[in-house]
Amino acid sequence: MPKAKKRGGAHQRGAGGQPRNVQPFSDEDASIETMSHCSGFSDPASFTEDGPEVDEEATQEDLEYKLKGFIDLTLDKSAKTRQAALESLKSAFSSKILYEFIMERRMTLTDSIERCIKKGKSEEQCAAAGLACLLCVQMGSGIESEEIFKTLGPVLKKIVCDGTASVQARQACATCLGICCFIVTDDITELYSTMECLENIFIKAYPRDRDTNGVSSTPNTVLHISALLAWTLLLTICPMNEVKKKIEMHLHKLPSMLSCDDVNMRIAAGETLALLFELARETDADFFYEDMELLTEKLRALATDGNKHRAKVDKRKQRSVFRDVLRAVEERDFPTETVKFGPERMYIDCWVKKQTYDTFKEILGSGMQYHLQSNDFLRNVFELGPPVMLDAAALKTMKISRFERHLYNSAAFKARTKARSKCRDKRADVGEFF
């Protein structure tokens, strides 16, 4: 392997001639450097026919060499450098399967994450919590992941419950706690303990009995939303007797959150209600909710909300979600969604599956499709079976040339422009009077 270039001369070497860590770099440098090696792995079909042949082994070695450097930099004295290294590792872990590489360094990574969460500031804690999620996604369910969660679980719970910590850090740790517990926990006691921790956070969003004018958002609202969604994710893997207890405890309280002035809280509460109704009807086909008429009235109002004081984007998003929630509660129906990745398709046909998919899509981002194709854990969660192995001929048929892609995009852009222009043209609304 060629020697690394010297940037600072002899002062970069310590006693004994050993090289020190590379000099700190900016967030932008870290992002560009990592993505240049990782983005190409997001989808086999992303390679074009006219692209040059790539030495995969050399590329993999180069990637691992850079990742080792990033892992070392998580221990740097500079908070900015540590955060940039964490973000770079997150980018790589979300865009490629690195099981063997991570297996050899899982304890080092766990120690680095623990140190950053304990001693770092808000942004560094958020980055470390995000990396912890991706670490568990990469490792899947197993003894190694359980060891990681045993180390990080208590630290995450401490931050979540710490009122002096930043809201953003608590929010990230709440999400991380739910996802990691979902992935690794076989111990039912630990599952219930984690759910109780999250429950104690989001129940603070419930209005008091004397409140009659709805729920006002607070700086902690984002934390309440994350705790509620993480709790809901864990509820999907609970035994049915525990599910019944939680439904009895929260089903009559959650509708109060629908009056919150934060659109994301309203949506989170609505989706949780739809999921609770789905689980309740699975456990009891004759399930009956006493205040159904009042609830459906609220849901219908949100599904057709036209209040002018709310942003158009918020209203559009809210109406779309609550139309589906209303159908779930009133008609026991779910609009099936299709997710395509490579040559495969996955059908999301229930709220439990949607909640799980949305959670992992949030942390994996654009790497979700690649992980659905190759990650054994996610394929097991969504019952996709073992990864589909594609030969070179199959991959070639999936590729599209750069010119063909340009023609397709041009045609789509032209059609979209015409349609929008027609709708925007005021003359289209004027009839012919002469």
Secondary structure string (H, E, C) spanning the chain: CCCCCCCCHHHHECHHHCECCCCCCCHHHHHHHHHHHHHHHCCHHHCCCCCCCCCHHHHHHHHHHHHHHHHHHCCCCCHHHHHHHHHHHHHHHHHCCCHHHHHHHHHHHHHHHHHHHHHCCHHHHHHHHHHHHHHHHHHCCCHHHHHHHHHHHHHHHHHHHCCCCCHHHHHHHHHHHHHHHHHHCCCHHHHHHHHHHHHHHHHHHCCCCCCCCCCCCCCCHHHHHHHHHHHHHHHCCCCHHHHHHHHHHHCCCHHHHHHCCCHHHHHHHHHHHHHHHHHHHHHCCCCCCCCHHHHHHHHHHHHCCCCCCCCHHHHHHHHHHHHHHHHHHHHCCCCCEEEEECCEEEEECCHHHHHHHHHHHHHHHHHHHHHHHHCHHHHHHCCCCCCCCCCHHHHHHHCCCHHHHHHHHHHHHHHHHHHHHHHHCHHHHCCCCC
Instruction: Name the pTM for this structure.
Output: 0.78
pLDDT band at 52 (very low <50, low <70, confident <90, very high): low
Length of the chain: 434
Task: Work out the mean pLDDT of the chain and round it to a whole number.
Answer: 83
Q: What is the pLDDT of residue 399?
A: 60
Percent of the chain residues topping a pLDDT of 70: 79
Q: In this structure, are residues 147 and 108 in contact, taking their beta carbons and an 8 Å threshold?
A: no
Give CA–CA dist 364/134, Å, rounded. Answer: 8
pLDDT band at 163 (very low <50, low <70, confident <90, very high): very high
Q: What dihedral angle (degrees, nearest 10) is formed by the CA atoms of 72, 74, 77, 82?
A: 130
Mean pLDDT over residues 52-69, rounded?
82
Give CA–CA dist 159/125, Å, rounded. Answer: 9
pLDDT band at 42 (very low <50, low <70, confident <90, very high): very low
Amino acid at 309: H
Q: What is the pLDDT of residue 41?
A: 37
Positive or negative, the CA dihedral 75, 76, 81, 85 is negative
pLDDT value at 230 more than 80:
yes
Mean pLDDT over residues 46-56, rounded?
51
Q: In this structure, are residues 388 and 344 in contact, taking their beta carbons and an 8 Å threshold?
A: yes
Mean pLDDT over residues 283-305, rounded?
91
Q: What is the pLDDT of residue 314?
A: 81
Q: What is the pLDDT of residue 261?
A: 87
Q: In this structure, are residues 181 and 190 in contact, taking their beta carbons and an 8 Å threshold?
A: yes
Least confident of 15-24, 67-76, 257-266: 15-24
Neighbours of 331 (CB within 10 A): 8
Mean pLDDT over residues 160-180, rounded?
96
Measured at the CA of 205, the angle between CA 264 and CA 309, to 5 degrees, comes to: 45
Q: What is the pLDDT of residue 299?
A: 94
> What are the pLDDT digits (tens) for 85-114?
999 999 999 999 999 999 999 999 999 999
pLDDT value at 24 more than 90:
no
Give CA–CA dist 270/256, Å, rounded. Answer: 10
Least confident of 21-30, 66-75, 374-383, 387-396: 21-30
Mean pLDDT over residues 290-297, rounded?
92
Give the relative orientation of helices 79-95 and 27-38 as an angle to the nearest 10 degrees: 20
Mean pLDDT over residues 241-270, rounded?
94
> What are the pLDDT digits (tens) for 316-345?
889 999 999 999 999 999 989 999 998 899
pLDDT value at 29 more than 90:
no
Q: Give which of 181, 184, 188, 134 is closest to 156, Cα–Cα.
A: 181
Mean pLDDT over residues 2-31, rounded?
41
Q: Which residue did the predictor score with more confidence, 416 or 117?
A: 117
| Phi, psi of 344, deg, nearest 5 | -105, 165
Q: Give which of 178, 169, 122 is closest to 149, Cα–Cα.
A: 178
> What are the pLDDT digits (tens) for 382-424?
999 888 876 555 555 556 667 777 777 788 777 777 777 766 5
> What are the pLDDT digits (tens) for 177-213?
999 999 998 889 999 999 999 999 999 999 876 445 5
Q: What is the pLDDT of residue 11?
A: 40
Q: In this structure, are residues 24 and 12 in contact, taking their beta carbons and an 8 Å threshold?
A: no
pLDDT value at 237 more than 70:
yes
Q: What is the pLDDT of residue 23?
A: 39
Give the up-direction half-sphere exposure of residue 283: CA atoms within 13 A in the CB hemisphere: 19
| Tokens describing residue 409 | 């995009």
